[in-house]
Structure 1
């Protein structure tokens, strides 16, 4: 069973992540919920779309496929992103954009900026990097911040995708 303790999977967390990914996908296309609704052959209501995006209503596989195809997204790609987010969230990891961090101007975040600047010229280095809990705690310590404070600061940066924020020991 999806939400059972034995499986280690939290259905509510998956629903919320799925809803968030659906909302991001719709917004990336520049559509309102009403515009998405008009693309769907099933004629579901705008309110139903809202409940899917909020993660407060389960979405059937058939409906998910319909939504994805209406937005030119392969369902398996959406599901993979949702699963990655949930798996990362459970570990307490955080995904950051290195270019954005290299542009930090706040003096107390200089250690984070220097780390990002060193990472940018590396061949094959991607723009997005996933920091595990230990790295996040270490960076917070270098910036003389609590890990939760660093997460809050990163959340304020629109380029960042913070997907977890579990406490760590300092």
Structure 2
């Protein structure tokens, strides 16, 4: 059973279909989170990547890691309705196996370091217990501007 369902995640993250890449949160601790993405044959990115051999783009696996980590970061702040988590960097990204239609992508993020508004996390994505991608994701917690446009801090 999930701790957070899709509707709950949409209450935390600003992302929406087709760019919301987290379906459920399965585990949640103070410095660790596990999320799930059911990769279906109907994903819009499979139309062009690649029609004869559909593979989830690695950059979207990294984005899914950042979104799962973003849930962890936003749930740790009291005024999360007034905050955004902005993707700052990816380091040491490695892609081990392709992610295909029908796969269940499990994403674990662990906080490595927090300094002011910056959070560094280790992300590991697996399918059937095998690592498909990993990397170090850095995010920045920012104030959500009234206009809806991110500030240029």
TM-score normalized by structure 1? 0.28
Of Structure 1 and Structure 2, the greater helix share is in 1
Of Structure 1 and Structure 2, the greater strand share is in 2
Larger Rg: 1
- Which of structures 1 and 2 has the larger relative contact order (alpha carbons within 8 angstroms, sep 6+)? 2
